[in-house]
Amino acid sequence: MSKSEEQRLLIDVAIMYYLENKTQSEIAKSLYLSRPKVSRLLKKARDTKVVEITIHDGDVPYHQLCRWMKESFKVEKVIITKSYDDEERTIRECGKAAAEELSRVLSDDVVVGISWGRNIKAMAKYVGKSKYRDIKVVELFGDIHSSSESNDVRHAGLLLAQNLGAELYALHCPLYINDDKAREAIKNTAVVKNTLNMIQKCDVIVSGIGHIGNATSLAIWDNYIDPDIQSQIIKANGVGFLCAHFFDHNGEFLDLPINREVIGIDIESIKSKKNILVAGGRHKTRAILALLQAGYVNTLVTDEINAEKILSYVRD
């Protein structure tokens, strides 16, 4: 076959595939070629610029930034949503994207672990009724009694279970217990033990992330963690908390008593389980980056400002 004949064949195959929407099998039959031959011709058409693909990314924005983050941090999937001046709107958009992503990974008998927070509540709000059966939603850690806002976002697990039509395994106990005997006694009560066992069976966990920039950013804990412990966290260079466990700028969980006093998911399970991290809104960049660098994130849902700041921090 001459060069001009091969070029003509490349063009014919490309037109049939990309413009006429014919399948490779249909093209093979029409041109009396094998299907593998058609596949090789399509690849060559792209490699030699006979075909150039342009993606207009209005519906899938920031694809280059997503690709950079996936490659840089070995993350399976990155979803970046638009940032707005109204932080609540930013969080809503992250929640919608996370809801779509969670819906994609659901199946019969799946066990979903869930934390709480504004991002997670937004996600739970936008999840629709699932076609799958016997889904279980498990709260990953106990309760805190703080502001009305924190009590409101605490209901994310219940909201998610209701919207999915799933069974909820709630963890009705305090989040932190500093007395070892009391903590073990609570963990061994039937209802708490049952939920803790379900946490170990989680197929995927969906979590928000908290940031620690200074003492005021720990305000949510004011009624639950005394000032001495808050000072310890800040002095230990804590930058954030994931599932109620505090970590530093390297994503290493702090070797402090507070992290051993949690009733809920343990650090090793946080590290090992497949997770979707939902982190939209202000002041979260350094905490997100720490977890990315530590390799604890499978799927990240965040907004453009956080993503661009992560890129800036890494390049600097």
- Owning domain of residue 221: 63-315
Residues 102 and 202 occupy one common structural domain: yes
DSSP-derived letter for residue 21 is: -
- The answer to whether position 283 is within a domain reads yes
Q: Decide: 72 and 289 in contact? Cβ < 8 Å.
A: no
The values of phi and psi at residue 78, to 5°, are: -125, 130
Model confidence, pTM: 0.80
Residues 29 and 128 occupy one common structural domain: no
Q: Decide: 239 and 290 in contact? Cβ < 8 Å.
A: yes
- The answer to whether position 55 is within a domain reads no
Residues 206 and 180 occupy one common structural domain: yes
CA distance 247 to 233: 9
Residues 230 and 296 occupy one common structural domain: yes
Beta carbons within 10 angstroms of residue 96's beta carbon: 17
Residues 28 and 124 occupy one common structural domain: no
CA distance 206 to 149: 20
Residues 31 and 97 occupy one common structural domain: no
- The answer to whether position 52 is within a domain reads no
- The answer to whether position 58 is within a domain reads no
**Planar angle of CA 217, 219, 223, nearest 5 degrees:** 155
Residues 160 and 212 occupy one common structural domain: yes
Predicted local distance difference test score (pLDDT) of residue 223? 62
Predicted local distance difference test score (pLDDT) of residue 217? 52
Predicted local distance difference test score (pLDDT) of residue 181? 96
Q: How many domains, the chain?
A: 2
Handedness of CA 221, 245, 304, 82 (dihedral sign): negative
- The answer to whether position 67 is within a domain reads yes
Q: Decide: 114 and 150 in contact? Cβ < 8 Å.
A: no
Q: Specify the DSSP element, H or E, that contains 81.
A: strand 77-81
Q: Where are the alpha helices (DSSP H) in 75-177?
A: 87-105, 118-126, 148-153, 156-164
Q: How many CA atoms lie within 13 A of 185 on its CB side?
A: 6
Residues 171 and 23 occupy one common structural domain: no
The secondary structure of 242-279 as a DSSP string is ETTEEEETTSPBP-SHHHHSBSB--HHHHHHS-EEEEE
Predicted local distance difference test score (pLDDT) of residue 18? 86
CATH code, domain with 251: 3.40.50.1360
Residues 217 and 135 occupy one common structural domain: yes
Q: Decide: 207 and 298 in contact? Cβ < 8 Å.
A: no
Residues 99 and 11 occupy one common structural domain: no
Q: Decide: 197 and 269 in contact? Cβ < 8 Å.
A: no
Name the percent of the chain in helix, strand, coil, to the closest 5. Answer: 50, 15, 35
- The answer to whether position 91 is within a domain reads yes
Predicted local distance difference test score (pLDDT) of residue 212? 85
Predicted local distance difference test score (pLDDT) of residue 315? 83
DSSP helix/strand/coil, 174 = strand
Please list the rounded mean pLDDT of every run of 10 residues in the chain (316 residues): 81 89 89 90 91 66 85 92 94 94 93 94 92 95 65 77 95 92 96 97 95 61 76 92 94 95 94 95 94 95 95 86
Residues 39 and 88 occupy one common structural domain: no
- The answer to whether position 54 is within a domain reads no
- The answer to whether position 56 is within a domain reads no
CATH code, domain with 19: 1.10.10.10
Residues 35 and 164 occupy one common structural domain: no
